[in-house]
């Protein structure tokens, strides 16, 4: 117990000290991306692990990014207010879509397809309002002339590294809080058998809605931060079906039943995508995604538990044995 705390603190200290020792801008950039996407994947997994597979999270992320940027550019609203507003919008969207789904027992394939359509529709709206959002050409938040802090725009990669690290930790803490709450037991009961859970006194609709809204809020936050960091968003990079699928894949590759699984997934997928992108160069657009897609299908067929999930499952057996051999205290 105490040793694991010490390990956490040491890891955190090492992570905080990193940018002071190592300052390669490209590698820092990769780290920031990995941390922000890890947070997004973690947000997806907090509902995905209970069998609530949503392909609508690309929609929530797009809402988070675009609402924040639009409020800043058109109304001059600081992201400090814009991000909560964007998160509220995404939460509202989650309620509008989630409530009828959960109330009327739309589960499994049906739920996946409804949420899939949601992310498609958000993409369509962004494209349709091209007078404001720039359509498929993308959108850039205006550079600030005043305070950087007020506009949440920093040129400094180190600052972003700390913001991303903080948000990533926040995601893990939310995961931990859910893991230790009654909601987890309720959700596990629901994912086993909804009728039985309802008969045992679980409010199925409310429990599912709670976790979905929480997940949508976090995803929107990830989208807004991604927008503030990259200073450029386009419908393809923050919304739509491909982003939704990307989230699910990363979570599955890492392993979605372990708290660090989505993070491992982010590390693997982002490093893979970057290696492929650099390896194939700019003149071979599409090759990277082709290899990516093939690897993902292979993963689902041969390693459905994810890398971290399979590893921990394999490591657990001997540790359980050794625990049993220990004399009881």
The residues that touch another protein, with contacts defined as CB under 8 A, are 51, 53, 55, 96-97, 100-101, 103-106, 108-110, 112-114, 116-118, 120-121, 123-125, 127-128, 240-242, 245, 248-249, 252, 284-290, 292-294, 296-297, 300-301, 304
Q: Which of 253, 255, 257, 281 is nearest to 268 (CA)?
A: 253
Output the CA–CA distances (angstroms, integers) from residue 27 to 14, 19, 143, 190, 281, in the order listed: 16, 10, 24, 42, 18
Q: Which is nearer to another protein, 52 or 165 (CB)?
A: 52
Q: Which is nearer to another protein, 32 or 63 (CB)?
A: 63
Q: Which is nearer to another protein, 153 or 191 (CB)?
A: 191
**Least distance in angstroms from the C-beta of 65 to another protein:** 19
Contact 249, 77 (CB under 8 A): no
**Least distance in angstroms from the C-beta of 91 to another protein:** 16
**Least distance in angstroms from the C-beta of 296 to another protein:** 4
Concatenated DSSP letters for 262-326? HHHHHHHHHHHHHHHHHHH-TTSTTHHHHHHHHHHHHHHHH-TT-HHHHHHHHHHHHHHHHHHHS
**Least distance in angstroms from the C-beta of 23 to another protein:** 34
Q: SS3 breakdown of the chain: % helix, strand, coil, rounded to 5?
A: 80, 0, 20
Q: Beta strands of the chain (E only): which ranges?
A: none
Q: Which is nearer to another protein, 226 or 249 (CB)?
A: 249
**Least distance in angstroms from the C-beta of 114 to another protein:** 6
Q: Which is nearer to another protein, 162 or 299 (CB)?
A: 299
């Amino acid at each position: 117990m105490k040793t694991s705390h010490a390990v956490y603190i040491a890891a955190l200290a090492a992570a905080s000290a990193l940018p002071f020792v190592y300052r390669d801008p490209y590698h820092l950039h990769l780290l920031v991306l990995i941390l922000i996407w890890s947070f997004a994947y973690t947000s997806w997994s907090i509902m995905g692990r209970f069998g609530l597979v949503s392909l609508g999270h690309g929609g929530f992320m797009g809402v988070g990014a675009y609402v924040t940027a639009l409020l800043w550019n058109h109304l001059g609203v600081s992201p400090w207010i814009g991000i909560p507003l964007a998160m509220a919008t995404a939460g509202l969207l989650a309620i509008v879509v989630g409530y009828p789904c959960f109330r009327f027992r739309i589960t499994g394939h049906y739920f996946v397809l409804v949420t899939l359509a949601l992310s498609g529709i958000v993409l369509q709206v962004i494209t349709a309002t091209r007078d404001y959002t720039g359509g498929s050409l993308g959108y850039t938040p205006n550079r600030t002339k005043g305070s950087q802090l007020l506009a949440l725009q920093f040129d400094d990669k180190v600052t972003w590294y700390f913001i991303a690290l903080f948000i990533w930790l926040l995601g893990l803490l939310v995961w931990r809080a859910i893991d230790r709450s009654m909601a987890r037991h309720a959700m596990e009961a629901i994912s086993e058998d909804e009728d039985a859970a309802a008969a045992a006194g679980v409010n199925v609709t409310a429990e599912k809605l709670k976790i979905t809204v929480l997940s949508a809020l976090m995803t929107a936050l990830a989208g807004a931060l991604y927008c503030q960091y990259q200073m450029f968003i386009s419908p393809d990079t923050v919304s739509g079906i491909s982003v939704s699928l990307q989230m699910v894949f990363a979570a599955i590759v890492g392993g979605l039943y372990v708290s660090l699984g989505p993070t491992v997934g982010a590390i693997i997928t982002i490093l893979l995508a970057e290696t492929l992108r650099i390896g194939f160069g700019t003149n071979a657009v599409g090759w990277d995604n082709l290899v990516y897609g093939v690897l993902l299908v292979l993963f689902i067929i041969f390693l459905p538990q994810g890398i971290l999930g399979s590893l921990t499952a394999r490591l657990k057996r001997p540790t359980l044995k050794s625990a049993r051999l220990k004399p009881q205290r």
